[in-house]
Amino acid sequence: MSGRIALLAGGTGLVGGACLRALLRHPEYEKVHLLTRRDVPELAHPKLSQCVVVFNAPETLKLPACTDVFCALGTTIRKAGSQPAFRHVDLKFPSPLPA
Ligand SMILES: NC(=O)c1ccc[n+]([C@@H]2O[C@H](COP(=O)([O-])OP(=O)(O)OC[C@H]3O[C@@H](n4cnc5c(N)ncnc54)[C@H](OP(=O)(O)O)[C@@H]3O)[C@@H](O)[C@H]2O)c1
């Protein structure tokens, strides 16, 4: 192990789930911190640490130290209910994540 630590948001979705599985089996990653809005016990894995956060309250986000950030958060206008709500999830939510 070379000590890489991933921070992943959106790991419960289609794209993020594929990213999560790739990170968990990647030998260079010793830890994956998953930011979610809900506890997801079925994703339990020895390398995984789940952090339940309120994406809508970025001032409350306490992000764990990491070497790499992956963001697969996203929605659709239909799911979000409106264009502004869609933009909020797709553009605002990722913005407090480290660049
Ligand atoms: N699917 C594709 O083929 C594809 C291709 C190219 C690009 N993309 C882009 O990749 C991104 C993810 O797509 P996807 O298909 O993986 O979407 P998805 O399966 O719907 O997953 C969306 C992720 O974002 C989270 N999320 C959505 N709304 C949220 C909210 N209001 N608060 C907190 N978390 C929220 C979901 O969490 P929950 O599980 O808690 O809902 C989930 O982790 C999108 O921007 C999409 O446009 C997708």
Residue 50 and residue 20: Cα distance in Å, rounded? 12
Q: Where are the domains of the chain?
A: 4-56+63-92
Q: What is the mean pLDDT of residues 31-56?
A: 96
- pLDDT tops 60 at residue 1: no
3-class DSSP assignment, residue 62: coil
Q: Does domain 4-56+63-92 have CATH number 3.40.390.30?
A: no
Q: Is 19 in the pocket of ligand 1 (CB under 6 A)?
A: no
Euclidean distance between CA atoms 70 and 89, whole angstroms: 15
Confidence of residue 2 (pLDDT cuts 50, 70, 90): low
Per-residue confidence (pLDDT) for residue 51, from 0 to 100: 95
- Which residue among 7, 12, 15, 86 has the greatest number of ligand 1 atoms within 8 angstroms of its CB, and so is best to mutate? 15
The answer to which of 23-37, 66-80, 83-97 has the lowest mean pLDDT is 83-97
Segment 49-72 mean pLDDT = 92
**Which has the closest alpha carbon to 74: 66, 85, 59, 58?**
85
